[in-house]
Amino acid sequence: MPLVTTPRDDTSAGRFEFWRETVRRSFVPLEALPGAGLEFHASLHTSHVGALQVSVVTAQPHGVAHTPRHIAAGQPDFVKVSLQLAGRCRLAQADRRTMLAPGELAVYDTRRPYTLDFDLPYRMLVLMFPRALLRLTEQDLARVNATAIHCREGLGPVVQPFLRGLARQVLELERLGSPRLADSAIDLVGALLAQHGAASVVPEDDGREVLRQRILTYMEQRLGDPELGPDQIAAAHHISRRYLYNLLAEQGHTVSGWIRERRLARCRRDLADPVLAQLPVGAVGSRWGFPDPAHFSHVFKAAYGVSPREARSGTPLP
């Protein structure tokens, strides 16, 4: 469903009913609520890139509600990230209430009820993807959930232009995009959210959370180094191995387990990327820290149940 617009030859009420059904089908279950305007028009541009859904919504004033009855047991666990492009949005989830102005971003959790209210004509970019891809702990997500994130400092001036570029190219993303684009978008958003969360609270232990995020970023940037390990990481951050282990254990990780999981995720992405189809399987493993092809094949199959070659040929992965 790349482009949907409300019918021009219908009544305003008829156009809104059309929009109500469009919204229900396009995201997690939602209820569209009519606004105060006499005439209603709306459009939705959507592309799917890997696990990422990119949508641009343009509409007259109305509201949207994700209610307890919409939240079914076992439904997919998604988060949504919205960048306000024009107009404004009142976002409410749990005990949080925030107003998004143009250029501001927010994340909200589809496992919990929320409402969006637009009292002016608006335009909004909405990213929707599985919660697990965000790689934030529940505590980190709770810190930033349903808060307005200004993009004027830190990583904001980097992330916001990238997201605006996605909005401008939304109709071309399925043709031009690849799983790597989805990973990049989610990683950038995750880095911005992590930075905002760390800056919005005073850590009880004088920067423990900030240090953990720096370590995770350091490891992410060096996944291709086969020598990456606890000694190198601890030395780079002037801490002991024991302290490093404790920092990651607080998030349920081991150092080697986190590195292996992220390396395999990168390999899985590259094996599915048609741009890299000519790159030998062993070279895919080598570029992400698995220089031994036999070892790479063994750990990949242990993680996903299929060999790297089977994954490249299109065998479904869990």
User: pLDDT for 178-200, tens place per residue?
Assistant: 777 888 899 899 889 888 876 55
Distance separating alpha carbons of residues 57 and 125, to the nearest angstrom: 7
pLDDT of residue 72: 73
Give burial (CB, 10 Å; 0-12/13-18/19+) of 189: buried
Which of 175, 199, 223 terminates a domain? The answer is 199
Identify residue 159 by its one-letter amino acid code. Answer: V
Indicate whether 121 and 243 sit together in one domain: no
| Residue 256 belongs to domain with CATH number | 1.10.10.60
Indicate whether 171 and 104 sit together in one domain: yes
Indicate whether 84 and 183 sit together in one domain: yes
| Residue 73 belongs to domain with CATH number | 2.60.120.10
Domain membership flag for residue 254: yes
Are 91 and 108 contacting, i.e. CB atoms less than 8 angstroms apart? yes
Indicate whether 268 and 189 sit together in one domain: no
Output Rg (C-alpha) for the chain, integer angstroms. 21
Are 32 and 6 contacting, i.e. CB atoms less than 8 angstroms apart? no
Indicate whether 45 and 21 sit together in one domain: yes
Domain membership flag for residue 45: yes
Which of 155, 182, 199 terminates a domain? The answer is 199
Domain membership flag for residue 235: yes
Distance separating alpha carbons of residues 89 and 117, to the nearest angstrom: 6
Which of 142, 171, 199 terminates a domain? The answer is 199
Are 155 and 192 contacting, i.e. CB atoms less than 8 angstroms apart? yes
Give the pLDDT band (50/70/90) at residue 203: very low
Domain membership flag for residue 155: yes
**pTM for the model:** 0.67
Indicate whether 78 and 166 sit together in one domain: yes
Indicate whether 161 and 41 sit together in one domain: yes
User: pLDDT for 68-122, tens place per residue?
Assistant: 888 875 567 889 999 999 999 999 998 889 999 999 999 998 888 999 999 999 9
Where would I find the H helices in the chain? 12-26, 138-144, 156-168, 173-176, 179-199, 208-221, 230-236, 241-249, 255-272, 281-287, 293-304, 308-312
User: pLDDT for 15-29, tens place per residue?
Assistant: 899 998 998 888 888
CA nearest to 126, candidates 185, 209, 70: 185
Indicate whether 151 and 270 sit together in one domain: no
| Domain count of the fold of the chain | 2
Indicate whether 183 and 306 sit together in one domain: no
Domain membership flag for residue 318: no
Give the domain range for residue 274: 208-312
DSSP 228: -
